[in-house]
Chains A and B, each alone.
Chain A
């Protein structure tokens, strides 16, 4: 049965409702919303309300509407209040558009009144007597500090392994990355760290940065005035929804051409065709993992045709051959255009053979990107990329090859241009130097699998759902953490010292002491010995920047759930307890390193961190800048306004690599087939390419959506888009549960017949709690520990007929059918 809300009336926000600025905490676009809160016993009327509209009238298209998902009743300053979170039409990011994610922010708030999100953690918990028992913050932090202090003093800080988010939005942001960063990179020098979605502590776009190009260099408005949008390995209508609808669509309506590089046809391609006409959309459905060869051919053709921007190249790029040599830790040489071209040179025909697309189409792409108009004027092009190549084959060289095209054509730093990643979460990184981590960073998951590390602090990461080689990781992590659970059970009833001794003995015997900071009890949290409950943005004030570096303060409008706290204050609590324990141990010098955490609020953490590096930026000023905020870097404060930067590199000086000459570097991106170990053999030995993809409807690993009835009703199991001929041949029907297996492990999902799916290729939604695609991804990474999640091959078999929940859902095409 299709999910119905059975709601036919909602409270009306009164005219005097409190209004709070909100940046959507889900994707990187960071749409502006307004949160209205008002007392439980009050309401507005049809004619006198917070929206200033006559709500007795049917609202027109694009009108103001409080959807049921935008409403909830939450706790604010200890009182139950009504909450309405609606899209902000004055925000330049989304202009009043809501996404299927952001428009559910209200109903995805924890509420004891309406019963939503009761999965949220409310109290610290500790493994006691065979289960997790709630306890006080002091008790939980004391155990964390005592065990951690013993390990880092008796062994070294290298035995403390940390998995920690580095993103903005959600529960990330400048406050929380600073809190965690100060603890692990300043008070300590933890080098065995990893980020939420990958097994090392590293950039996802090393090559772009090494070439001098920050990966977020444009304004979203550039899409509206560009001549060509080149999208690679991304599906923006689904994953940066309102960037596509509010900025790319106007660009296409203004005459821009659209090039999509993606082996899979997506709803983004379909929508682009609807807007621009099929004749203005070029979908290069290349063989998986061959992007670099395509880019090199486009680059070569542009150079050979003389379509390069020679003035820009002369003024802004390195001119003297090789600047950085290739070596074991440097996946490609960097230098002048001519230097790079010696390696990159690829003919259209060579690329066509590798990529499996027509040479003529590759030529067309080059023409749309760079062939001057009849009057000799240059075309402008925005290049945008994401996980298809970030988590793809040969990350460093492939991204470098794409940036080469933008540099060669002068398409960075100018209106209507840019070469940017599209992004996942918002950004919000402010931490002390991570130089001690080294490059390449530790391959942390392999370290843990190999028995390394004795304590594992996990901050809002769920390796169970979002790592590669996940099947083996889970087996080992559970076994090692169970050793500690057994030791704790055996020490039950004893003193704290006896408990700590028992844990230390267990970790010295190969066990792992696991502390999990999260907002829900995650899957990896099943292995935790201490669980510390965190809160999210709007339960705290949170600053983040979006994909055009737009910094906003998303304001607190409700209380943290139960006894949960902002991550920055949890980190401060750990630090304070570490200081006390170390002093008790007589380690005063070490204890002194843990001073400086006397923060009472998240704003204190913001002032201690981000504000120190950006003294113009304060909460009060950001609050005044509203949902339009200011684009980083902030240049100053004039006339009561923060002055930002619309676009990076407008002066043609490239700085991201730190070179004093300010010259951009080209990348010698030599094609070498499958870069990561084991990929070629896996491809040869299995029938299906298992593409992993994202979907509009879910956010990432579904951490809140797994408890959202509207969402789970639509896709009760992770969908696997599959060619109908393949399904018929294997005896698989729509909604049947299927297993994907290879030498790395197995996972399961639900077959979704898809008429545009190619034979031998399936697309499985990534990060599902009901089927981890990472189980079947081999451990292959590049030289800098970037995983190649995207390239996995396996065999497929039917496990079971469609369960009842899958029998009643729609299996129709996701593509809009217009006139």
Chain B
């Protein structure tokens, strides 16, 4: 009765970078500067970089593309679902991107193209790629961080924000 899918796709399987985040744009907006005598105002919201992830032409339906955002230390995937989904962009409203670090304890999720879910090999949590990264079942206390996307006229896809805090960092931009 157990479902064993042969269409699993390993995503973001490289060892992600340790400490490779210093080049990220927006780091200067961090609030961790020692307070000078005259306080310097910091923006209340994290400034996200606008990073090109790929082009619509690069995407095939239900085939995840490895990306990282907002910096190289934060792996994710870009996905074209083939039908309109929550916060989907592009002409078909079907392009989404998510962090693939499980917001439970940071294990890298695998994508099951069979039922379009992300699965954590560490502790069996599952997230729905078609429903805004909602946790189907699991231990995380938030849904999967979804990257905010913008599509340019030439089909380039840019990430410019994130819905939730990414595992393993006190600020999405560090």
Binding site for B on A (CB under 8 A): 1-10, 12, 43, 45-46, 54-63, 65-70, 97-100, 103-104, 107, 237, 241, 245, 265, 267, 270-271, 273-274, 278, 696-697, 710, 713-714, 755-756, 808-810, 812-819
Whether B117 contacts A98 by the Cβ 8 Å rule is no
Given A9-B170, A58-B21, A817-B3, A100:B106 Cβ within 8 A: no
Contact call B18/A69, Cβ cutoff below 8 A:
no
Given A2-B86, A9-B172, is A67 in contact with B139 using a C-beta cutoff of 8 Å? Answer: no
Q: Give 7 closest A-B pairs by Cβ, nearest first.
A: A2-B132, A59-B168, A58-B73, A69-B141, A816-B124, A814-B137, A810-B128
- Cα A656 to Cα B161 with chains together (Å): 60
**Which A residues are in CB contact (< 8 Å) with B120?**
816
Which secondary structure characterizes the binding site on chain B?
loop
Inter-subunit contact A104/B106 (CB<8 Å) = no
Which residues of A sit under 8 angstroms from B122, Cβ to Cβ? 61
Residue of A nearest to B133 (CB): A2
Tell me if B134 and A710 are in contact (CB < 8 A): no
Partner-contacting stretch, out of B59-67, B107-115, B152-160: B107-115
For chain B, the bracket of interface size reads: 35 or more
The chain B residues found within 8 Å of chain A, CB to CB, are 1-5, 8, 16-22, 30-32, 45-46, 48, 73-74, 86, 103-108, 110, 112, 114-115, 117, 119-126, 128, 130-143, 146, 161-165, 167-174
B139 touches A817 (CB 8 A): no
B33 to chain A minimum Cβ distance, whole angstroms, is 9
Q: Which residues of chain B are within 8 angstroms of A713 by Cβ–Cβ distance?
A: 134
Asked if residues A67 and B165 are in contact (CB atoms below 8 Å), the reply is: yes
A550 CA to B119 CA, complexed, in Å: 33
Interface of chain A, main secondary structure? loop
Q: How far is the CA of A442 from the CA of B105 in the complex (A)?
A: 47
Q: Are A67 and B141 in contact (CB under 8 A)?
A: yes
Q: With A65-B168, A812-B117, A819-B8 as given contacts, are A8 and B46 in contact (CB-CB < 8 Å)? A: yes
User: Given A58-B174, A60-B168, A98-B104, 11 more contacts at CB 8 Å?
Assistant: A1-B86, A45-B32, A61-B107, A63-B105, A65-B167, A70-B141, A100-B138, A107-B141, A241-B139, A814-B137, A815-B126
CA of A799 to CA of B61, assembled, Å: 37
Bound complex: CA of A714 vs CA of B144, how far in Å? 13
23 inter-chain pairs at a CB distance below 8 angstroms, sorted by A residue, are: A8-B171, A9-B170, A54-B19, A57-B174, A58-B20, A58-B168, A67-B140, A70-B141, A98-B105, A98-B141, A100-B139, A100-B141, A237-B124, A714-B135, A755-B1, A755-B3, A810-B128, A810-B136, A812-B136, A815-B137, A816-B124, A817-B126, A818-B8
Q: Give the residues in chain B near A265, CB-CB below 8 Å.
A: 1
Given A104-B141, A274-B124, A814-B126, the answer on whether A756 and B164 have CB atoms closer than 8 Å is: no
Distance (Å) between the CB of A163 and the closest chain B CB?
A: 32
Bound Cα distance A241, B167 (Å): 20
A1, A5, A8, A56: the one contacting B22 at CB < 8 Å is: A56
Residue pair A58, B165 in contact (C-beta under 8 Å): no
B125 CB contacts on chain A under 8 angstroms = 816
- Distance in Å: Cβ of B104 to nearest Cβ of chain A: 7
Contact A5 B128 (CB under 8 A): no
Closest B residue to A819 using CB positions: B8
B residues within 8 A CB of A270?
2, 124
- Within the complex, the shortest CB–CB distance from A233 to chain B, in Å, comes to 19
Are A58 and B16 in contact (CB-based, < 8 A)? yes
Residues of A within 8 A of B135 (CB): 714
| Across-interface contacts of A271 in B (CB, < 8 A) | 124
